[in-house]
A = this chain, B = another copy of it.
Amino acid sequence: MLAAVNSAPLGIFDSGVGGLTVVKAVQELLPAEDVLYLGDTARLPYGSKSPETIRQFADEDVRFLIAKGVKAIVVACNTATAHALPQLREKYRTPILGVIEPGVTAALADPATERVGIIATRGTIRSHAYQHALALRRTGLIIHGQAAPLLVPLVEENWIEHPATRQVLKAYLDPLVDKGIDTLMLACTHYPILIPVLKDLLPPDVRLVDSATTCAEHLKHELTRLDLLADGDREGKLELHLTDLSEEFETLTRRFLKKSPGRIRRAVLGA
């Protein structure tokens, strides 16, 4: 018989609605799990802000989810993972997973990986969290981090196919291609939506690694290890909480989740 805690929801949070790409991957892999999602849309983006501020925001996000009784937490935000994960793990007893380790594991799954490019927000690149995690796992890797701060606004505007987006992408990718990368890590939850354009702009032998899918696989592994999986016979529910509601956020929610989000609740943090 499963303990009561196994039927508790998973908590997943992000600075906005981009983390729903992780939710989508989790629902596909672990359909029996209830998911409680928190998007801090009132204070997004995190990527351009200071580590101190990001840590404070992430701490408030985690406290909100713990108060709701979640059994484990996924930090579905690369910037928050980069700056706040160690501190959060130390402070709280609830298991907390980030998006960086799973991405790094996936990038290095191919033993031929030698030259890794990383695109992310400025905050994530500056933190050197990916570069550090990669370097710890394999010596001799050549790693190039490229801050790509204009991609999130372009994705949120849905300018995926616009020539301006291609021009921006070229400006970010050309230096990486020049350096002969064999792997490109999409180190921001918004970027999976750009995969078709990225494939078009990159040489065909560059492998793309996105954090959403790899994070869901890691979560399944951890829940199994901790004996926290929900009963497989049920169908999980999704509950969405955003700190700011607007038509745009609802539209984006639908785009990232690829289905109707149902009722979205307004969350008040730090109460």
Contacts and interface: CB of A to CB of B under 8 A. Distances in A.
Interface in A12-55: 41-43, 48-50, 52-53
Contacts of A157: 149-150
Contacts of A243: 53
Interface stretch (A73-81, A86-94, A164-172): A164-172
B153 A164 contact: no
A263 interface: no
A158 B212 CA distance: 31
Contact of A48 (B48, B50, B171, B248): B248
- In the A-B complex, the 3 residue pairs with the smallest Cβ-Cβ separation, listed nearest first, are A164-B167, A50-B246, A53-B244
* Chain A interface extent, by class: 20 to 34
11 contacts: A42-B43, A42-B49, A48-B156, A50-B245, A149-B153, A150-B153, A163-B167, A164-B164, A164-B167, A164-B171, A167-B167
Contact of A244 (B49, B163, B168): B49
A53 B44 CA distance: 12
A156 B167 CA distance: 18
A41 B50 CA distance: 10
Contacts of A171: 162, 164
Contacts of A41: 49
Interface of A: 41-43, 48-50, 52-53, 122, 149-150, 153-154, 156-157, 159, 162-164, 167-168, 171, 243-246, 248
A265 to B, nearest CB: 14
Nearest to A122: B248
B42 A53 contact: yes
A201 to B, nearest CB: 14
B149 A244 contact: no
Nearest to A248: B48
A156 to B, nearest CB: 8
Nearest to A150: B153
Contacts of A162: 171
A41 B52 CA distance: 13
Nearest to A245: B50
